[in-house]
Amino acid sequence: MRLLLLITFWSLLLYSCKEVTFQEAQPIGMAPLTEIPTSLRGTYQTYDKQTGETGDTLIIESWGYHFKDKEDQDWLGRGKLSDSLVVKFYENYYFINFKDNNQWVLRLVKQKSPGVLEFMSIDIQDDSKRREMLRKLSRKMPVKEIQREDETFYQINPTPAQLITLIKEGYFTGVELRKME
């Protein structure tokens, strides 16, 4: 179960072989944050509601994030705010943008309550789910397919209002992270 939590969280954090990407850091026209807000900083773990098990630890600091395993060892690298990791705030969501060559991969963070974050992405890993999701997206805006080695990207270019509509319509899903005391 620990491995399943870890795989789910890591695939949400970074990107996978098939990903919805963006031409620019999202939302377009919003200024990036120069540091992570105090309200998000802390030590978080994924939590499986069915088993009660917790996963590895995500530590959010003013400059970015890093991970620790259950033995308190750093692993998986660090993400530092830079030209290739941009965080923006809009409509009560934090938009975490990772640059991959000429594309941006997006993750959302919503503070649900003190100590609880929801970490979200557009999940298109499952073949049947991907086809349906891309069909629905293409009704709203152009979707450009980009192939690069073993990776496939589906690039969209929403306005800020369209992006919020995608969030409200449930295109973004994810996991809860709970702050450790």
| pLDDT given at position 75 | 63
What global pTM score does this model have? 0.84
**pLDDT by residue (tens digit) across 115-161?**
889 989 998 888 888 889 999 999 999 999 998 888 889 999 999 99
**Rounded to 5°, angle at Cα 164 from 130 and 19:** 30
Number of domains in the chain: 1
| pLDDT given at position 109 | 93
| pLDDT given at position 16 | 52
- The answer to whether 106 touches 155, Cβ cutoff 8 Å, is no
- The answer to whether 67 touches 74, Cβ cutoff 8 Å, is yes
Give me the residues paired with residue 161 across strands.
Answer: none
In this prediction, the residues of the chain whose per-residue pLDDT falls under 70 are 1-16, 47-49, 70, 75-77, 181
Among 10, 18, 4, 7, CA closest to 124:
18
What residues make up the domain containing 25? 2-179
> How many angstroms separate the CA atoms of 119 and 109, rounded?
5
